[in-house]
Amino acid sequence: MISKRKFMAVSTAIFITGAAPGFSQSTPSLKDAFKKDFGIGTALNNAQIEERDPQMTAFIARQFNMATPENIMKSALIHPKWDTYDFSMGDKLIEFGKKHNIKINGHTLIWHSQLPPFIRGIHSQDSIRSFFTDHIKTVAGHYKGKVFSWDVVNEALNEDGTLRKSVFLQYLGDNYITDAFRLAQEASPGTELYYNDYNNEQPAKRAGCIALIKKVKEAGVRIDGVGIQGHWHVGKLPLKDIEESIIQYAALGMKVMITELDIDVLPRNFQGADVSQRMTANEQSNPYAAGLPDTVQQQLAADYEALFNLLLKHKDKVTRVTFWGVNDGNSWLNNWPIRGRTNYPLLFDRANQPKPAFEKVIAATK
């Protein structure tokens, strides 16, 4: 399975070069507008973490107070060989956060996708257990006191709420999620620990997520929150399901976050964010290469307005909203489920200029 973070690496020329046109200092700041409500985050790529473009760095620091690495803390990159860890880019992210007063959410300790290549050659329970244990202890321990939070387990559920048949379920059994949170808690006791998934606002998957949370808690293991990724489609936001999920997760004592927010405007015949799914390109698959029609732009703005009105209604339960990318040019949706498309799912355009959706989101706070 290919990571959605990988797709972001080839999205546009703006992303590849790290270059971003200037922005107006008069543009309101998202983090300031919501400072009394919840944190505002973004996903950061390597160019942004390394501050290759000073204007982009200044823009990020002005707009966001939380950040999630798109790719660099995945096990394939941070643990490339059995006995080798590479913390170089992760450490740069920590320094970026310190420098710009941005809290870092570690992403992610255990995920069935983007595993190190050597995992494919392992066929024993003891070896998988050894990798699982050492990986969590080493990575979470290295960033103890440095990251604000961890997505401890990512995307462990099927759409019907059952556990995904991952290598971890296969070899370690259905207690592996509880074990992951226990190990993370031991390695980094002061860090907030979350479960993160897509479509877990949908009733069946929500029920599975609730069962997962209860199982961890009943084992006496700490779990602090749940992330609803928020990969939705224009004109089709499941607002009732989102609200019910916020209420039900919060009733379990969970902090609730929207962790990978974007609103797709391009044709797609399925929902969610299963990166193994693909569509075939045709004449209709990239309809807005020359620009987004005003009707779609206004629908996108209305969707973001409705979503943030809902999140503000439940600001006592929602602790963070993280956009999956800084601007439209950075979005993984330009290359998934079809490569080379032109998408417009975020609040800022490819020049970091605010879109009508941004204005609606800011207005929601007033």
Q: Tell me the per-residue pLDDT of 316-333, one tens digit each, with 9 for 90 and over.
A: 999 999 999 999 999 999
Q: What is the pTM of this model?
A: 0.92
pLDDT at 122 over 70: yes
Contact between 196 and 261 under an 8 Å Cβ cutoff? The reply is: no
User: Does the annotation mark 260 as catalytic?
Assistant: yes
Residue 157's SS3 state is strand
43-77 pLDDT, tens per residue?
999 999 999 999 999 999 999 999 999 999 999 99
The rounded percent of the chain whose pLDDT value lies above 90 is 86
Distance (Å, whole) CA 230 – CA 153 = 17
Cα dist. 142→43, 88, 107, 199 in Å?
A: 21, 12, 14, 31
Pairing mode, strands 225-228 and 231-233: unpaired
pLDDT tens digit sequence for 175-233: 999 999 999 999 999 999 999 999 999 999 999 999 999 999 999 999 999 999 999 99
Indicate the SS3 state at residue 153.
strand
pLDDT given for residue 9 in this prediction: 38
* Contact criterion met (CB below 8 Å) for 104 and 43: no
188: tokens are: 């980094």
Would you say residue 12 has pLDDT above 60? no
Q: What three-state secondary structure class fits 249?
A: helix
Q: 């009105």: which residue's tokens?
A: 309
Question: Which stretch of DSSP H or E encloses residue 47?
Answer: helix 46-49
- Of the ranges 15-29, 100-114, 148-162, which one carries the lowest mean pLDDT score? 15-29
| Model confidence at 13: pLDDT above 50 | no
What does the pLDDT read at residue 20? 46
Mark out the alpha helices in 261-352 (DSSP H runs).
Answer: 294-313
Catalytic residue among 260, 283, 305, 359: 260
Residue 244 annotated as catalytic: no
Asked if the 4-277+286-363 domain carries CATH number 3.40.50.720, the reply is no
Q: Does residue 303 contact residue 237 with C-beta atoms inside 8 Å? A: yes
Residue 58 is predicted with a pLDDT of 97
Beta partners for 256? Answer: 226, 318
Q: Kindly indicate the confidence band of residue 125, based on its pLDDT and cuts at 50, 70 and 90.
A: very high
Per annotation, catalytic residue among 51, 155, 192, 201: 155
Give the tens place of pLDDT for each residue, 127-150: 999 999 999 999 999 999 999 999
Q: What is the CA radius of gyration of the chain?
A: 19
Phi, psi of 320 (to 5 degrees): -155, 145
Percent of the chain residues topping a pLDDT of 70 = 91
Instruction: Please state the rounded mean pLDDT for residues 245-271.
Output: 93
Q: Angle at Cα 203 formed by Cα 201 and Cα 204, nearest 5°?
A: 115
Label residue 279 by pLDDT band (50, 70, 90). confident
Give the domain ranges of the chain: 4-277+286-363
